[in-house]
Structure 1
């Protein structure tokens, strides 16, 4: 047994710890792997999608190079130039808001597509919709309306929502038929646990992952409380808690 743990310790970070959740779709399985903070990898039908790659390229060792990278907005924990520079992007399309493209220094992507709030595109049979991601009220917002994106991706009929940095906006609350959602909760940058739970209860995803829950000073939001708040009112929602902050 001690040799097993030694081998596990010596494996690269992504191989030793990252575990994909599998969701069946009409065209094969969708595999979703939490990486770090707001970064995740989705693999479906031969396509690999990286969302907000962050925390160092070493976290992606052993994974396929991305066919497409989604970036929600320009802040450094989402647009991470250091991580991007360590990835093979020569055959990769970037989909991002205009401000990300304007700020991006590493433009080695094979193609760059600008997507604004309310717009959509299709990448290899994956429909990608941009949803507004912003703080309320706008007067004190760290994330202004119309700048950043959340995304809804359709993988063979399975709809996945990635919130980006946002409050529980009308756009989030109006979402329909979301199978899997990733929702942020780290005040003062995004909403706190209670309003996050309230927003999730409004759009009722089948599966919800709290992510992006590190606050200033490395304090972590209470995701167990989030789960309780959601399931006390709707026990049918599958709240999945994952450790997004290994090796902080």
Structure 2
């Protein structure tokens, strides 16, 4: 840990000793109990406090990486956490998480520490992944897990219903190891969004496959959706939205009327998967969005400035920039740093 920040952080920890809520508690539990409690508490926060290289080598599904050794980052991220739900955390063997648990307890959090850390979790044959994922819950108690694979490729699980969006083999380490799809959604036919091999690997006999018209023609398998069309499966409403380039000279990349994005309505949770688009007039009809995936890589999709324009128009609660290549996203993060209504989350979606 940086020596200067370590001293400051340790001093802050000491000063906060008296700040602990009398109701707050810290528990250390086995991998089996840790897994069971996480499955029962969709609103809990799961934190992997290891270094980024450790996290990327493998982690517990749904864990947020917040490096304990980066004290500035850790303090900044902790201030964003709600104390209404317990915080579950782990490190490699339990030493660092014990220190972090002590700090969080003194801030008034109920903390659950994984006994033996990630090593014990793996030895207990619990599920691990190399992909980042975030977990949400709906007002009907359904768990919605979003796994960020790469670029425009996502996997969403809604209480056991698996949705693969724009699956591309080169972006996943091995689609054979991922759950088969109940639903596949493809936005358009470009090779970084449509991959017939990945779709074949993920498909079951009863997989529902939806796409724009051109992919339907190419595959001979998908149901074509035009803008405004809707389908409903497993109490998940899927609506096709407009996606196209609007800047002069860029219209040929994604012509108006060819491609689609998708709205997913899952109980009270509304997700917007924009597809390859720039800010368009149709954004005015895309409202009440909880989670939005917006592409940022001009000339093919949005500039950083256009993404900010889109966010201000749609006003989603959480924004994941995706399909961003080498784009510097820091201006977007900085623009909304003080905005309590909109949260920008950066994931590995280059």
Which residue of structure 2 aligns with residue 118 of structure 1?
228
Which residue of structure 1 aligns with residue 344 of structure 2?
239
Rg comparison, structure with higher value? 2
1:135 aligns with 2:245: yes
Q: 1:58 to 1:87 in 2, by over 3 A?
A: farther
1:87 aligns with 2:202: yes
The alpha carbon displacement at 1:138 in A equals 6.7
The alpha carbon displacement at 1:80 in A equals 1.4
Q: More relative contact order in 1 or in 2 (CA 8 Å, sep 6+)?
A: 1
Which residue of structure 2 aligns with residue 99 of structure 1?
214
1:46 aligns with 2:163: no
The CA distance in 2 between the partners of 1:158 and 1:26, in whole Å, is 8
The CA distance in 1 between the partners of 2:248 and 2:215, in whole Å, is 20
Question: How many residue pairs were aligned?
Answer: 228
Query: In the alignment, is the contact (CA less than 8 A) between 1:136 and 1:167 conserved in 2?
Result: yes
Which residue of structure 1 aligns with residue 321 of structure 2?
210
The alpha carbon displacement at 1:156 in A equals 1.5
Q: Which moved more, 1:67-76 or 1:14-23?
A: 14-23
CA RMSD of aligned residues (A): 2.5
Long gaps (5+) in structure 2: 1-49, 59-121
Query: In the alignment, is the contact (CA less than 8 A) between 1:33 and 1:42 conserved in 2?
Result: yes
Q: 1:190-219, CA deviations, whole angstroms, 9 ceiling, x for partnerless residues?
A: 1111111111111110110000001xxxxx
Runs of 4+ in 1 over 6 A off after TM superposition: none
Q: 1:151 to 1:45 in 2, by over 3 A?
A: same
Q: Which has the higher helix share?
A: 2
- Give the TM-score, by structure 1 length: 0.83
Query: In the alignment, is the contact (CA less than 8 A) between 1:49 and 1:68 conserved in 2?
Result: yes
1:228 aligns with 2:334: yes
Q: 1:123-160, CA deviations, whole angstroms, 9 ceiling, x for partnerless residues?
A: 12111111100001476411111111110001122000
The alpha carbon displacement at 1:172 in A equals 2.3
The CA distance in 2 between the partners of 1:200 and 1:181, in whole Å, is 9
Q: Which moved more, 1:191-200 or 1:14-23?
A: 14-23
1:37 aligns with 2:143: no
